Structure 1
Amino acid sequence: MRKITLSIASLFLFVLVCLAADLTGTYKGSVSFQDRKLDLTYKLKADGEKLTGSIISEYGELPLSDGKIAGTDFSYKIDVGNGPMESKGKFMGDSIVITSNFGGMEVKNTFKRVAE
């Protein structure tokens, strides 16, 4: 019975490590605010516990800074002109869920992985 438990725990750990490594990629989705929809593309690159990349919209490209990865959770900052905006994310395999604080309002959106 102990071997089975250890095997299952090892498999679970292996899956978590593989999921974290798979964060690298392109994700697309949109955010809505003030009766407006904005299409966003996230281009992410995972390197161990470090996350780099950018967010692309019709207004241009913003680089991520201070990106960190911990398992399937990640965080980063972007400079939106009046200081850095912090965001947190959760990697879900074929998508990411981003939670940002924008103007005192918490916004949560899902972005789907797309082929590059």
Structure 2
Amino acid sequence: MRAAAILVVAGLGACTGTEERRAPVATAVRPAPPPAAPAYTGPVLGPDGSCTGPAPTGAAAIEPGIGECDLVRLKGKPPTDVLVGEGRAGREVQVLYNEPGAKELYFFVNNRLDRVVK
């Protein structure tokens, strides 16, 4: 019986020690801010289809990555219609050309040709 009492007292003594146990502190994690829209350079098309500056002469063919004004220069005529807006990725422009027998729609994101629908 005495041995059992010693075990109980020893067990209770462990509970009254000086070591403090605390629950882990929760830390708030802020979500990362959305990435900034990439900047675009060079002249761009206005809603009327005209360039805001001199058209660059770097692009030799209509291919992904060319600028809006490069397209107009390479086509050799103003577009039928231009839609300018802002989207998640930044500046978004749709350029329409009515060609004989077909329509061509060019999609630009931040002054770079993204895709073509013919």
Same-fold call, TM cutoff 0.5: no
Give the TM-score, by structure 2 length: 0.39
Max Rg structure: 2
